[in-house]
């Protein structure tokens, strides 16, 4: 296991992420119900975040995961321990990857407020990156966040930033293998 040094910027970024996620006050976090058709505001919750999630690319990505068994399979395939020893609530879940980054100090925070329209769920996330002139290490990172979704079946998860720009979308569900 590789230890990544924690810089003052990383601590400040994580505290900022925690504050935004705890308060659910990310601007533009939810659309007004009915603004673009029948939509309901729902609440999601972050379960855990990691600074290294072995992202497959540099792109922001989201994966919809049906249940705890599928989540265990996901983390085994990635070689990460996202859930630790924590008892998990019933699924579904989403894992949002910031993508591979060339230095530390990156992170993301997911708003508790989400919008559900049919079987589509729109999550809002703030993507944090250090400024080029800020001190920090050149250690690569690939942060991710595990999010508990409201009970139900989803065909699609969209992730937007606070300005409403789409950052990632998925249309597949990682189901648990037959046992």
Tokens of 75: 């983390």
Domain count, the chain: 1
pTM value surpassing 0.75: no
Domain holding 149, by residue range, is 8-174
Higher pLDDT, 120 or 171: 120
pLDDT single digits (tens) 88-100? 888 899 999 988 7
67 φ, ψ (degrees, to nearest 5): -160, 180
Bridge partners (DSSP) listed for residue 125 = 110
- The rounded distance, in Å, linking the Cα atoms of 146 and 30 is 19
Is the model's pLDDT at 167 over the cut of 60? yes
Contact 159, 167 (CB under 8 A): yes
Q: Is residue 179 in a domain?
A: no
Is the model's pLDDT at 15 over the cut of 70? no
Higher pLDDT, 3 or 109: 109
Q: Is residue 56 in a domain?
A: yes
For the chain, list the strands marked E by DSSP.
40-43, 45-50, 61-65, 93-97, 107-117, 120-128, 144-148, 156-160, 166-170, 173-174
pLDDT grade for 28, boundaries at 50, 70 and 90? very low
């Amino acid at each position: 296991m590789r230890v990544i040094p924690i810089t003052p910027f990383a601590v400040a970024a994580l505290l900022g992420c925690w504050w935004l996620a705890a308060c659910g006050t990310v601007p533009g976090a939810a659309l007004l119900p009915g603004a673009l058709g029948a939509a309901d505001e729902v609440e999601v919750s972050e379960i855990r975040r990691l600074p290294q999630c072995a992202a497959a690319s540099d792109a922001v990505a989201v994966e919809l995961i049906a249940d705890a068994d599928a989540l265990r399979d996901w983390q085994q395939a990635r070689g990460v321990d996202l859930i630790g020893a924590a008892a998990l609530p019933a699924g579904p879940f989403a894992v949002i990857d910031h993508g591979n980054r060339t230095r530390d100090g990156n992170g993301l925070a997911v708003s508790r407020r989400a919008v559900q329209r049919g079987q589509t769920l729109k999550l809002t996330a703030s993507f944090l990156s250090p400024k080029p002139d800020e001190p920090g290490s050149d250690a690569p990172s690939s942060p991710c966040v595990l999010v508990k979704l409201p009970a139900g079946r989803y065909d699609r998860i969209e992730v937007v930033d606070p300005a409403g720009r789409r950052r990632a979308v998925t249309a597949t569900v990682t189901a648990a293998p037959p046992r």
